Chains A and B, each alone.
Chain A
Amino acid sequence: MILWADSISRSFSGRRVLSSGRLTVSAGEIVGVVGRVGSGKSTLLKISAGALQPDSGWVQFCGQRHYRPRLSSLAARGMFYLAESNNLVPAMTVRRHFDLIENRFGPGDCEEVLSRLSLVALLDATAESLSAGEVRRVEIALALVRRPLCLLADEPFRSVDPKVCQLLGESFRMLAHQGCAVVITGHEVNLLRPFLDSVTWVTSGTTYSLGSADAAWAHDAFAREYLGPNANRR
Protein backbone atom coordinates (compact mmCIF):
# COMPACT_ATOMS: atom_id res chain seq x y z
CA MET A 1 0.00 0.00 0.00
CA ILE A 2 1.47 3.34 -1.08
CA LEU A 3 -0.75 5.64 0.96
CA TRP A 4 -2.65 4.87 4.11
CA ALA A 5 -4.35 7.62 6.10
CA ASP A 6 -6.21 6.44 9.18
CA SER A 7 -8.16 7.69 12.20
CA ILE A 8 -8.21 11.16 10.67
CA SER A 9 -10.23 13.80 12.47
CA ARG A 10 -10.43 17.48 11.78
CA SER A 11 -12.60 20.35 13.00
CA PHE A 12 -13.00 23.89 11.69
CA SER A 13 -14.11 26.56 14.17
CA GLY A 14 -15.58 23.93 16.46
CA ARG A 15 -17.44 22.13 13.67
CA ARG A 16 -16.22 18.58 13.23
CA VAL A 17 -15.87 17.77 9.54
CA LEU A 18 -14.10 14.44 9.89
CA SER A 19 -14.21 12.18 12.94
CA SER A 20 -12.67 8.94 11.70
CA GLY A 21 -11.55 9.25 8.10
CA ARG A 22 -9.63 6.49 6.39
CA LEU A 23 -8.09 6.39 2.94
CA THR A 24 -5.98 3.68 1.39
CA VAL A 25 -4.61 3.33 -2.11
CA SER A 26 -2.19 0.87 -3.66
CA ALA A 27 0.17 1.16 -6.59
CA GLY A 28 -1.66 1.10 -9.92
CA GLU A 29 -5.05 1.70 -8.33
CA ILE A 30 -7.47 4.58 -8.91
CA VAL A 31 -9.61 5.36 -5.88
CA GLY A 32 -12.55 7.73 -6.12
CA VAL A 33 -13.45 9.68 -2.99
CA VAL A 34 -17.04 10.79 -3.24
CA GLY A 35 -19.53 12.43 -0.94
CA ARG A 36 -21.83 15.40 -0.60
CA VAL A 37 -20.54 18.97 -0.57
CA GLY A 38 -19.08 19.64 2.88
CA SER A 39 -18.78 15.95 3.73
CA GLY A 40 -15.03 16.28 4.25
CA LYS A 41 -13.61 14.61 1.16
CA SER A 42 -11.40 17.57 0.24
CA THR A 43 -10.29 17.81 3.87
CA LEU A 44 -9.38 14.12 3.84
CA LEU A 45 -7.43 14.60 0.62
CA LYS A 46 -5.62 17.70 1.91
CA ILE A 47 -4.61 15.92 5.10
CA SER A 48 -3.48 12.84 3.15
CA ALA A 49 -1.32 15.11 0.98
CA GLY A 50 0.14 16.96 3.95
CA ALA A 51 -1.43 20.25 2.86
CA LEU A 52 -3.48 20.40 6.08
CA GLN A 53 -2.73 19.10 9.55
CA PRO A 54 -5.16 16.64 11.17
CA ASP A 55 -6.42 17.07 14.73
CA SER A 56 -5.67 13.38 15.19
CA GLY A 57 -4.70 10.41 13.08
CA TRP A 58 -1.78 9.70 10.83
CA VAL A 59 -0.69 9.37 7.25
CA GLN A 60 1.56 6.54 6.16
CA PHE A 61 3.31 7.13 2.86
CA CYS A 62 5.77 4.63 1.35
CA GLY A 63 5.98 2.81 4.66
CA GLN A 64 6.78 5.88 6.73
CA ARG A 65 4.20 7.11 9.22
CA HIS A 66 3.63 10.85 9.65
CA TYR A 67 1.62 12.32 12.50
CA ARG A 68 2.24 15.84 11.22
CA PRO A 69 2.42 15.26 7.46
CA ARG A 70 3.89 18.03 5.29
CA LEU A 71 3.34 18.26 1.55
CA SER A 72 6.95 19.29 0.93
CA SER A 73 8.37 16.21 2.65
CA LEU A 74 5.80 13.83 1.10
CA ALA A 75 6.34 15.40 -2.35
CA ALA A 76 10.07 14.83 -2.08
CA ARG A 77 9.26 11.12 -1.63
CA GLY A 78 6.87 10.89 -4.57
CA MET A 79 3.57 12.57 -3.70
CA PHE A 80 1.90 14.98 -6.14
CA TYR A 81 -1.11 16.95 -4.95
CA LEU A 82 -3.51 18.82 -7.20
CA ALA A 83 -5.75 21.06 -5.13
CA GLU A 84 -9.06 22.36 -6.45
CA SER A 85 -7.32 25.56 -7.59
CA ASN A 86 -4.09 27.56 -7.40
CA ASN A 87 -1.78 24.73 -8.40
CA LEU A 88 -0.01 26.86 -11.00
CA VAL A 89 1.83 30.13 -10.39
CA PRO A 90 -0.28 32.73 -12.25
CA ALA A 91 2.61 34.91 -13.43
CA MET A 92 4.77 32.00 -14.60
CA THR A 93 4.69 30.50 -18.08
CA VAL A 94 3.61 26.93 -18.70
CA ARG A 95 7.12 26.14 -19.95
CA ARG A 96 8.65 27.37 -16.67
CA HIS A 97 6.42 25.03 -14.66
CA PHE A 98 7.69 22.04 -16.66
CA ASP A 99 11.28 23.25 -16.36
CA LEU A 100 10.96 23.41 -12.58
CA ILE A 101 9.55 19.89 -12.37
CA GLU A 102 12.26 18.49 -14.65
CA ASN A 103 15.06 20.37 -12.89
CA ARG A 104 13.88 19.08 -9.53
CA PHE A 105 12.92 15.49 -10.34
CA GLY A 106 14.82 14.74 -13.54
CA PRO A 107 13.66 14.70 -17.15
CA GLY A 108 10.31 13.10 -17.99
CA ASP A 109 8.47 12.44 -21.23
CA CYS A 110 7.75 16.14 -21.54
CA GLU A 111 7.40 16.37 -25.33
CA GLU A 112 5.16 13.32 -25.56
CA VAL A 113 2.96 14.52 -22.69
CA LEU A 114 2.66 18.03 -24.13
CA SER A 115 1.71 16.61 -27.49
CA ARG A 116 -0.80 14.15 -26.04
CA LEU A 117 -2.55 16.87 -24.05
CA SER A 118 -2.30 19.44 -26.87
CA LEU A 119 -0.28 21.88 -24.80
CA VAL A 120 2.58 22.72 -27.16
CA ALA A 121 0.92 25.93 -28.33
CA LEU A 122 0.42 27.06 -24.73
CA LEU A 123 4.03 26.70 -23.58
CA ASP A 124 4.78 30.42 -23.59
CA ALA A 125 1.44 31.47 -22.13
CA THR A 126 1.29 32.47 -18.49
CA ALA A 127 -0.88 30.35 -16.21
CA GLU A 128 -3.19 33.29 -15.49
CA SER A 129 -4.11 33.53 -19.18
CA LEU A 130 -5.34 29.93 -19.43
CA SER A 131 -8.93 28.72 -19.35
CA ALA A 132 -10.12 26.30 -16.66
CA GLY A 133 -9.81 23.33 -19.02
CA GLU A 134 -6.31 24.36 -20.10
CA VAL A 135 -5.24 24.77 -16.49
CA ARG A 136 -6.45 21.26 -15.69
CA ARG A 137 -4.60 19.86 -18.71
CA VAL A 138 -1.37 21.61 -17.66
CA GLU A 139 -1.74 20.33 -14.09
CA ILE A 140 -2.23 16.72 -15.14
CA ALA A 141 0.62 17.09 -17.65
CA LEU A 142 2.89 18.21 -14.82
CA ALA A 143 1.87 15.10 -12.90
CA LEU A 144 2.60 12.91 -15.94
CA VAL A 145 6.06 14.49 -16.33
CA ARG A 146 6.69 14.17 -12.59
CA ARG A 147 5.71 10.47 -12.59
CA PRO A 148 4.76 10.44 -8.91
CA LEU A 149 4.27 7.36 -6.76
CA CYS A 150 0.95 8.83 -5.64
CA LEU A 151 -1.29 11.48 -7.17
CA LEU A 152 -4.07 13.10 -5.18
CA ALA A 153 -6.38 15.21 -7.34
CA ASP A 154 -9.19 17.24 -5.79
CA GLU A 155 -12.16 17.76 -8.11
CA PRO A 156 -10.13 17.43 -11.34
CA PHE A 157 -13.28 17.24 -13.50
CA ARG A 158 -14.82 20.44 -12.19
CA SER A 159 -15.52 23.15 -14.80
CA VAL A 160 -14.13 21.19 -17.72
CA ASP A 161 -15.96 19.95 -20.80
CA PRO A 162 -16.66 16.23 -21.40
CA LYS A 163 -13.84 15.90 -23.96
CA VAL A 164 -11.27 17.21 -21.48
CA CYS A 165 -12.82 14.97 -18.79
CA GLN A 166 -12.15 11.99 -21.03
CA LEU A 167 -8.57 13.18 -21.64
CA LEU A 168 -7.99 13.64 -17.91
CA GLY A 169 -9.50 10.24 -17.11
CA GLU A 170 -7.26 8.56 -19.67
CA SER A 171 -4.27 10.37 -18.17
CA PHE A 172 -5.16 9.09 -14.71
CA ARG A 173 -5.46 5.60 -16.15
CA MET A 174 -2.06 5.98 -17.82
CA LEU A 175 -0.48 7.05 -14.54
CA ALA A 176 -2.05 4.05 -12.82
CA HIS A 177 -0.63 1.77 -15.53
CA GLN A 178 2.79 3.20 -14.71
CA GLY A 179 2.29 2.09 -11.11
CA CYS A 180 1.10 5.38 -9.65
CA ALA A 181 -1.52 5.27 -6.90
CA VAL A 182 -4.24 7.74 -7.86
CA VAL A 183 -6.95 9.28 -5.69
CA ILE A 184 -9.54 11.61 -7.20
CA THR A 185 -12.56 13.34 -5.77
CA GLY A 186 -15.57 14.75 -7.56
CA HIS A 187 -19.30 14.94 -7.98
CA GLU A 188 -19.33 14.03 -11.65
CA VAL A 189 -19.93 10.43 -10.60
CA ASN A 190 -21.03 9.14 -13.99
CA LEU A 191 -17.93 10.64 -15.63
CA LEU A 192 -15.69 9.32 -12.85
CA ARG A 193 -17.14 5.83 -12.69
CA PRO A 194 -15.41 4.24 -15.73
CA PHE A 195 -12.00 5.26 -14.42
CA LEU A 196 -12.36 4.07 -10.83
CA ASP A 197 -11.04 0.81 -9.42
CA SER A 198 -12.61 1.41 -6.03
CA VAL A 199 -14.80 3.93 -4.26
CA THR A 200 -14.51 5.50 -0.82
CA TRP A 201 -17.66 7.24 0.38
CA VAL A 202 -17.31 10.11 2.83
CA THR A 203 -20.42 10.79 4.89
CA SER A 204 -21.28 11.92 8.42
CA GLY A 205 -17.61 12.52 9.22
CA THR A 206 -16.51 9.03 8.43
CA THR A 207 -15.51 6.97 5.39
CA TYR A 208 -16.75 3.72 3.92
CA SER A 209 -14.73 1.71 1.46
CA LEU A 210 -17.36 0.36 -0.93
CA GLY A 211 -15.14 -1.74 -3.18
CA SER A 212 -15.38 -1.53 -6.95
CA ALA A 213 -17.44 1.12 -8.74
CA ASP A 214 -20.08 -1.49 -9.61
CA ALA A 215 -20.28 -2.61 -5.99
CA ALA A 216 -20.56 1.01 -4.86
CA TRP A 217 -23.36 1.79 -7.28
CA ALA A 218 -25.19 -1.33 -6.06
CA HIS A 219 -24.77 -0.28 -2.40
CA ASP A 220 -28.22 0.63 -1.07
CA ALA A 221 -27.28 3.39 1.37
CA PHE A 222 -24.80 4.96 -1.08
CA ALA A 223 -27.37 4.92 -3.86
CA ARG A 224 -30.14 6.24 -1.62
CA GLU A 225 -28.20 8.96 0.19
CA TYR A 226 -25.72 10.09 -2.43
CA LEU A 227 -26.66 9.03 -5.95
CA GLY A 228 -30.33 9.77 -5.48
CA PRO A 229 -33.43 7.76 -6.37
CA ASN A 230 -33.18 8.39 -10.12
CA ALA A 231 -29.55 7.36 -10.51
CA ASN A 232 -28.58 4.78 -13.08
CA ARG A 233 -27.27 1.97 -10.89
CA ARG A 234 -25.92 -0.19 -13.69
Chain B
Amino acid sequence: MYVAVKGGERAIDNAHAWLAEERRGDLDVAELSIAQIREQLSLAVNRVMAEGSLYDPDLAALAIKQSRGDMIEAIFLIRAYRTTLPRFGATAPVDTEAMACDRRISATFKDAPGGQVLGPTFDYTHRLLDFALAAEGDIPEAPQSEPRTEVTPHITEFLNQEGLIQTEVSSDDVPGDLTREPLELPSSRPLRLQALTRGDEGFVLSMAYSTQRGYGRNHAFVGELRIGKVAVEMDIPELGFAIEVGEIELTECETVNQFQGSKTEPPQFTRGYGLVFGQSERKSISMALVDRALRWQELGEDNMGAPAQDEEFVLYHSDNIQATGFLEHIKLPHYVDFQSELELIRKLRREAMENINPVQEAAE
Protein backbone atom coordinates (compact mmCIF):
# COMPACT_ATOMS: atom_id res chain seq x y z
CA MET B 1 0.00 0.00 0.00
CA TYR B 2 0.97 3.64 -0.19
CA VAL B 3 -0.13 6.34 2.21
CA ALA B 4 -1.03 9.94 1.58
CA VAL B 5 1.88 12.26 2.16
CA LYS B 6 1.83 16.00 2.38
CA GLY B 7 4.37 18.35 0.92
CA GLY B 8 5.93 18.59 -2.50
CA GLU B 9 3.27 20.88 -3.98
CA ARG B 10 5.79 23.37 -5.26
CA ALA B 11 7.95 20.63 -6.75
CA ILE B 12 4.88 19.14 -8.45
CA ASP B 13 3.77 22.48 -9.91
CA ASN B 14 7.24 23.15 -11.22
CA ALA B 15 7.49 19.64 -12.67
CA HIS B 16 4.23 20.17 -14.55
CA ALA B 17 5.36 23.57 -15.82
CA TRP B 18 8.52 21.95 -17.17
CA LEU B 19 6.45 19.12 -18.67
CA ALA B 20 4.41 21.71 -20.61
CA GLU B 21 7.61 23.30 -21.89
CA GLU B 22 9.13 19.98 -22.92
CA ARG B 23 5.88 18.99 -24.61
CA ARG B 24 6.08 22.09 -26.77
CA GLY B 25 9.70 21.37 -27.64
CA ASP B 26 11.87 23.77 -29.66
CA LEU B 27 9.95 27.01 -30.16
CA ASP B 28 11.58 27.47 -33.57
CA VAL B 29 9.62 24.43 -34.77
CA ALA B 30 5.95 25.05 -35.65
CA GLU B 31 3.43 23.78 -33.09
CA LEU B 32 1.30 20.75 -34.03
CA SER B 33 -2.40 21.39 -34.45
CA ILE B 34 -5.12 18.93 -33.42
CA ALA B 35 -6.26 18.83 -37.06
CA GLN B 36 -2.75 17.88 -38.20
CA ILE B 37 -2.63 14.97 -35.76
CA ARG B 38 -6.17 13.89 -36.70
CA GLU B 39 -5.44 13.97 -40.45
CA GLN B 40 -1.80 12.90 -40.62
CA LEU B 41 -1.40 10.52 -37.67
CA SER B 42 -4.78 8.91 -38.19
CA LEU B 43 -3.73 5.37 -37.31
CA ALA B 44 -2.45 6.58 -33.94
CA VAL B 45 -5.78 8.39 -33.52
CA ASN B 46 -7.57 5.14 -34.37
CA ARG B 47 -5.66 3.18 -31.77
CA VAL B 48 -6.44 5.74 -29.07
CA MET B 49 -10.15 5.63 -30.00
CA ALA B 50 -10.24 1.81 -30.02
CA GLU B 51 -8.45 1.29 -26.71
CA GLY B 52 -9.88 4.43 -25.13
CA SER B 53 -13.23 2.95 -26.15
CA LEU B 54 -14.59 6.27 -27.39
CA TYR B 55 -15.05 7.20 -31.05
CA ASP B 56 -14.11 10.87 -31.39
CA PRO B 57 -11.11 11.63 -33.66
CA ASP B 58 -10.66 15.21 -32.40
CA LEU B 59 -10.53 14.12 -28.76
CA ALA B 60 -8.11 11.30 -29.55
CA ALA B 61 -5.86 13.76 -31.44
CA LEU B 62 -5.94 16.14 -28.47
CA ALA B 63 -5.03 13.28 -26.13
CA ILE B 64 -2.05 12.34 -28.34
CA LYS B 65 -0.83 15.94 -28.29
CA GLN B 66 -1.26 16.21 -24.52
CA SER B 67 0.51 12.90 -23.89
CA ARG B 68 3.46 13.83 -26.13
CA GLY B 69 2.66 10.78 -28.25
CA ASP B 70 2.62 8.30 -25.33
CA MET B 71 -0.23 6.11 -26.58
CA ILE B 72 -1.16 4.51 -23.26
CA GLU B 73 -1.18 7.91 -21.55
CA ALA B 74 -3.44 9.19 -24.36
CA ILE B 75 -5.77 6.21 -23.96
CA PHE B 76 -5.83 6.89 -20.20
CA LEU B 77 -6.92 10.52 -20.88
CA ILE B 78 -9.73 9.32 -23.15
CA ARG B 79 -10.92 6.71 -20.65
CA ALA B 80 -10.99 9.35 -17.92
CA TYR B 81 -12.92 11.79 -20.12
CA ARG B 82 -15.36 9.06 -21.15
CA THR B 83 -16.47 8.55 -17.56
CA THR B 84 -17.64 12.20 -17.39
CA LEU B 85 -20.07 11.80 -20.31
CA PRO B 86 -23.73 11.06 -19.66
CA ARG B 87 -24.86 8.09 -21.72
CA PHE B 88 -27.80 8.84 -24.00
CA GLY B 89 -28.42 5.18 -24.84
CA ALA B 90 -27.13 2.41 -27.04
CA THR B 91 -27.19 2.07 -30.80
CA ALA B 92 -28.68 -0.64 -32.93
CA PRO B 93 -25.95 -3.18 -33.78
CA VAL B 94 -24.01 -1.80 -36.75
CA ASP B 95 -24.67 -3.47 -40.10
CA THR B 96 -21.19 -4.30 -41.35
CA GLU B 97 -22.58 -5.92 -44.50
CA ALA B 98 -23.65 -2.42 -45.59
CA MET B 99 -20.14 -1.03 -44.98
CA ALA B 100 -18.79 1.36 -47.63
CA CYS B 101 -15.57 -0.64 -48.04
CA ASP B 102 -12.27 1.19 -48.56
CA ARG B 103 -10.56 -2.18 -48.33
CA ARG B 104 -11.87 -5.72 -48.54
CA ILE B 105 -9.75 -8.79 -48.98
CA SER B 106 -10.15 -12.52 -48.55
CA ALA B 107 -7.37 -15.03 -48.06
CA THR B 108 -9.77 -17.89 -48.81
CA PHE B 109 -11.59 -16.97 -52.04
CA LYS B 110 -9.74 -15.35 -54.92
CA ASP B 111 -12.90 -14.61 -56.91
CA ALA B 112 -15.21 -13.48 -54.12
CA PRO B 113 -18.11 -11.31 -55.34
CA GLY B 114 -17.05 -7.71 -54.74
CA GLY B 115 -13.46 -8.66 -55.43
CA GLN B 116 -10.18 -8.17 -53.66
CA VAL B 117 -9.99 -4.44 -52.95
CA LEU B 118 -6.63 -3.44 -51.50
CA GLY B 119 -7.48 0.07 -50.31
CA PRO B 120 -4.85 2.39 -48.77
CA THR B 121 -2.63 -0.41 -47.45
CA PHE B 122 0.99 -0.71 -46.29
CA ASP B 123 1.00 -4.25 -47.75
CA TYR B 124 3.30 -4.67 -50.75
CA THR B 125 5.27 -1.55 -49.86
CA HIS B 126 9.00 -2.26 -49.55
CA ARG B 127 9.32 -0.93 -46.02
CA LEU B 128 12.14 1.31 -47.13
CA LEU B 129 12.27 4.72 -45.51
CA ASP B 130 10.91 7.27 -47.95
CA PHE B 131 13.12 10.31 -47.66
CA ALA B 132 10.84 12.19 -50.03
CA LEU B 133 8.46 12.52 -47.07
CA ALA B 134 11.13 14.47 -45.19
CA ALA B 135 10.58 17.27 -47.71
CA GLU B 136 7.29 19.01 -48.23
CA GLY B 137 5.55 18.32 -51.49
CA ASP B 138 2.24 17.82 -53.20
CA ILE B 139 0.80 14.34 -53.43
CA PRO B 140 -0.78 13.37 -56.76
CA GLU B 141 -4.43 12.40 -56.43
CA ALA B 142 -5.05 8.65 -56.27
CA PRO B 143 -6.46 7.05 -59.42
CA GLN B 144 -10.18 6.31 -59.63
CA SER B 145 -12.27 3.65 -61.36
CA GLU B 146 -15.95 2.95 -61.79
CA PRO B 147 -17.21 2.73 -58.19
CA ARG B 148 -19.10 -0.27 -56.92
CA THR B 149 -22.61 0.73 -55.87
CA GLU B 150 -23.96 -2.62 -54.65
CA VAL B 151 -23.53 -3.90 -51.11
CA THR B 152 -20.42 -6.08 -50.70
CA PRO B 153 -21.61 -9.42 -49.28
CA HIS B 154 -19.84 -11.15 -46.39
CA ILE B 155 -17.71 -14.06 -47.55
CA THR B 156 -18.71 -16.33 -44.69
CA GLU B 157 -22.28 -16.09 -45.99
CA PHE B 158 -21.25 -18.10 -49.07
CA LEU B 159 -19.92 -20.86 -46.83
CA ASN B 160 -23.02 -20.59 -44.69
CA GLN B 161 -25.30 -21.15 -47.70
CA GLU B 162 -23.71 -24.58 -48.12
CA GLY B 163 -23.84 -25.23 -44.38
CA LEU B 164 -20.04 -25.42 -44.34
CA ILE B 165 -19.62 -22.95 -41.46
CA GLN B 166 -21.36 -22.48 -38.18
CA THR B 167 -24.30 -20.08 -38.28
CA GLU B 168 -24.09 -17.09 -35.98
CA VAL B 169 -27.56 -17.08 -34.45
CA SER B 170 -28.97 -13.57 -34.41
CA SER B 171 -30.69 -12.30 -31.28
CA ASP B 172 -31.78 -9.07 -29.66
CA ASP B 173 -30.32 -9.92 -26.26
CA VAL B 174 -28.98 -6.93 -24.33
CA PRO B 175 -25.24 -7.60 -23.98
CA GLY B 176 -23.41 -7.24 -20.68
CA ASP B 177 -21.29 -4.10 -20.38
CA LEU B 178 -17.99 -4.34 -18.55
CA THR B 179 -17.84 -0.55 -18.21
CA ARG B 180 -20.93 -0.78 -16.00
CA GLU B 181 -20.54 -4.06 -14.11
CA PRO B 182 -17.27 -5.63 -13.02
CA LEU B 183 -16.20 -8.55 -15.17
CA GLU B 184 -17.13 -11.87 -13.60
CA LEU B 185 -15.99 -15.30 -14.71
CA PRO B 186 -16.98 -17.37 -16.49
CA SER B 187 -17.94 -14.52 -18.84
CA SER B 188 -19.75 -14.67 -22.17
CA ARG B 189 -18.59 -14.21 -25.76
CA PRO B 190 -20.14 -10.71 -26.03
CA LEU B 191 -18.22 -9.59 -22.92
CA ARG B 192 -15.02 -11.19 -24.19
CA LEU B 193 -15.33 -9.32 -27.49
CA GLN B 194 -15.91 -6.04 -25.64
CA ALA B 195 -12.76 -6.64 -23.60
CA LEU B 196 -10.71 -7.63 -26.66
CA THR B 197 -11.77 -4.71 -28.85
CA ARG B 198 -10.61 -2.24 -26.17
CA GLY B 199 -7.67 -4.42 -25.14
CA ASP B 200 -4.03 -3.46 -25.64
CA GLU B 201 -2.99 -4.03 -29.25
CA GLY B 202 0.39 -5.45 -28.26
CA PHE B 203 -1.11 -7.85 -25.76
CA VAL B 204 -3.85 -9.09 -28.08
CA LEU B 205 -1.30 -9.45 -30.91
CA SER B 206 1.02 -11.54 -28.72
CA MET B 207 -1.83 -13.75 -27.54
CA ALA B 208 -2.92 -14.29 -31.16
CA TYR B 209 0.66 -15.02 -32.23
CA SER B 210 0.99 -17.58 -29.44
CA THR B 211 -1.96 -19.52 -30.91
CA GLN B 212 -0.23 -19.55 -34.31
CA ARG B 213 2.96 -20.88 -32.72
CA GLY B 214 1.07 -23.78 -31.18
CA TYR B 215 -0.23 -22.61 -27.80
CA GLY B 216 -3.89 -23.36 -28.50
CA ARG B 217 -3.56 -23.63 -32.26
CA ASN B 218 -6.80 -23.12 -34.19
CA HIS B 219 -5.75 -23.00 -37.87
CA ALA B 220 -7.17 -19.60 -38.81
CA PHE B 221 -7.67 -18.35 -42.36
CA VAL B 222 -8.66 -14.73 -42.84
CA GLY B 223 -11.97 -15.40 -44.53
CA GLU B 224 -12.49 -11.69 -44.87
CA LEU B 225 -11.03 -8.42 -43.76
CA ARG B 226 -12.91 -5.21 -44.49
CA ILE B 227 -12.33 -1.59 -43.57
CA GLY B 228 -14.76 1.24 -44.18
CA LYS B 229 -17.54 3.39 -42.86
CA VAL B 230 -20.84 2.26 -41.42
CA ALA B 231 -23.80 4.33 -40.31
CA VAL B 232 -24.71 4.24 -36.62
CA GLU B 233 -28.42 4.13 -35.95
CA MET B 234 -30.09 4.81 -32.60
CA ASP B 235 -33.68 4.85 -31.36
CA ILE B 236 -34.68 8.35 -30.25
CA PRO B 237 -37.36 7.90 -27.59
CA GLU B 238 -38.79 11.43 -27.92
CA LEU B 239 -39.25 10.89 -31.66
CA GLY B 240 -40.50 7.33 -31.51
CA PHE B 241 -38.23 6.20 -34.37
CA ALA B 242 -34.58 5.56 -35.11
CA ILE B 243 -32.26 7.93 -36.94
CA GLU B 244 -28.65 7.70 -38.02
CA VAL B 245 -26.74 9.64 -35.38
CA GLY B 246 -23.37 9.30 -37.04
CA GLU B 247 -20.95 7.39 -39.15
CA ILE B 248 -17.83 5.55 -37.95
CA GLU B 249 -14.91 3.78 -39.54
CA LEU B 250 -14.48 0.14 -38.54
CA THR B 251 -12.22 -2.79 -39.31
CA GLU B 252 -13.85 -6.20 -39.33
CA CYS B 253 -12.09 -9.55 -39.53
CA GLU B 254 -13.78 -12.90 -39.89
CA THR B 255 -11.64 -15.96 -39.60
CA VAL B 256 -12.53 -19.40 -40.88
CA ASN B 257 -11.12 -22.06 -38.59
CA GLN B 258 -10.95 -25.81 -38.48
CA PHE B 259 -13.77 -28.06 -37.91
CA GLN B 260 -16.22 -29.03 -35.36
CA GLY B 261 -18.58 -31.96 -35.78
CA SER B 262 -20.29 -34.58 -33.69
CA LYS B 263 -22.14 -37.88 -33.99
CA THR B 264 -25.26 -36.00 -35.11
CA GLU B 265 -23.71 -33.04 -36.95
CA PRO B 266 -21.35 -33.28 -39.94
CA PRO B 267 -18.10 -31.29 -39.68
CA GLN B 268 -18.31 -27.52 -40.13
CA PHE B 269 -15.83 -24.67 -40.18
CA THR B 270 -15.87 -22.50 -37.05
CA ARG B 271 -15.44 -18.75 -36.70
CA GLY B 272 -13.42 -16.11 -34.92
CA TYR B 273 -14.47 -12.48 -35.02
CA GLY B 274 -12.75 -9.14 -34.72
CA LEU B 275 -14.35 -5.69 -34.92
CA VAL B 276 -12.38 -2.58 -33.98
CA PHE B 277 -12.85 1.20 -34.26
CA GLY B 278 -10.92 2.82 -37.09
CA GLN B 279 -8.46 1.32 -39.52
CA SER B 280 -6.98 -1.26 -37.14
CA GLU B 281 -6.13 -4.28 -39.21
CA ARG B 282 -3.52 -5.96 -37.03
CA LYS B 283 -5.68 -5.57 -33.94
CA SER B 284 -8.78 -6.88 -35.67
CA ILE B 285 -7.07 -10.05 -36.96
CA SER B 286 -5.51 -10.59 -33.52
CA MET B 287 -8.90 -10.17 -31.86
CA ALA B 288 -10.46 -12.81 -34.15
CA LEU B 289 -7.73 -15.35 -33.35
CA VAL B 290 -8.00 -14.81 -29.61
CA ASP B 291 -11.82 -14.88 -29.76
CA ARG B 292 -11.59 -18.26 -31.49
CA ALA B 293 -9.07 -19.63 -28.98
CA LEU B 294 -11.31 -18.62 -26.06
CA ARG B 295 -14.24 -20.56 -27.57
CA TRP B 296 -12.62 -23.95 -26.89
CA GLN B 297 -15.18 -24.98 -24.27
CA GLU B 298 -18.25 -24.01 -26.30
CA LEU B 299 -16.83 -25.90 -29.31
CA GLY B 300 -15.97 -29.00 -27.28
CA GLU B 301 -12.20 -28.72 -27.76
CA ASP B 302 -9.47 -29.80 -25.38
CA ASN B 303 -8.03 -27.31 -22.95
CA MET B 304 -4.35 -27.40 -23.89
CA GLY B 305 -3.51 -25.18 -20.93
CA ALA B 306 -2.48 -22.48 -23.42
CA PRO B 307 -2.53 -18.87 -22.19
CA ALA B 308 -4.82 -17.79 -25.08
CA GLN B 309 -7.41 -20.38 -23.99
CA ASP B 310 -7.41 -19.07 -20.43
CA GLU B 311 -10.26 -16.57 -20.18
CA GLU B 312 -9.15 -15.30 -16.79
CA PHE B 313 -5.58 -14.75 -17.96
CA VAL B 314 -6.58 -13.01 -21.19
CA LEU B 315 -9.42 -10.84 -19.92
CA TYR B 316 -7.72 -9.74 -16.72
CA HIS B 317 -4.51 -8.74 -18.47
CA SER B 318 -5.71 -7.26 -21.76
CA ASP B 319 -6.56 -3.79 -20.48
CA ASN B 320 -3.51 -1.54 -20.63
CA ILE B 321 -5.03 1.11 -18.37
CA GLN B 322 -5.64 -1.36 -15.55
CA ALA B 323 -2.20 -2.83 -16.16
CA THR B 324 -0.33 0.45 -16.24
CA GLY B 325 -2.27 1.77 -13.24
CA PHE B 326 -1.21 -1.14 -11.09
CA LEU B 327 2.29 -1.31 -12.50
CA GLU B 328 3.06 2.39 -12.15
CA HIS B 329 1.59 2.76 -8.69
CA ILE B 330 4.67 1.07 -7.25
CA LYS B 331 6.70 4.17 -8.04
CA LEU B 332 4.53 6.28 -5.71
CA PRO B 333 5.65 6.77 -2.10
CA HIS B 334 5.65 3.50 -0.15
CA TYR B 335 7.73 4.94 2.69
CA VAL B 336 5.78 3.37 5.57
CA ASP B 337 5.62 -0.05 3.91
CA PHE B 338 9.30 0.07 3.19
CA GLN B 339 10.09 1.21 6.75
CA SER B 340 8.53 -1.98 8.12
CA GLU B 341 10.45 -4.06 5.57
CA LEU B 342 13.66 -2.36 6.71
CA GLU B 343 12.95 -3.16 10.33
CA LEU B 344 12.13 -6.74 9.45
CA ILE B 345 15.33 -7.34 7.51
CA ARG B 346 17.44 -5.77 10.27
CA LYS B 347 15.81 -8.12 12.80
CA LEU B 348 16.33 -11.16 10.54
CA ARG B 349 19.97 -10.23 10.01
CA ARG B 350 20.51 -9.76 13.76
CA GLU B 351 19.06 -13.22 14.46
CA ALA B 352 21.11 -14.78 11.67
CA MET B 353 24.31 -13.21 12.95
CA GLU B 354 23.57 -14.52 16.44
CA ASN B 355 23.20 -18.03 15.01
CA ILE B 356 26.45 -17.77 13.04
CA ASN B 357 28.57 -16.42 15.89
CA PRO B 358 27.02 -17.64 19.16
CA VAL B 359 30.41 -18.44 20.81
CA GLN B 360 31.91 -15.11 20.05
CA GLU B 361 28.90 -13.38 21.57
CA ALA B 362 29.01 -15.60 24.63
CA ALA B 363 32.64 -14.72 25.04
CA GLU B 364 31.78 -11.06 24.96
- A in complex with B: no
Chain B residues in the interface with A (C-beta under 8 A): none
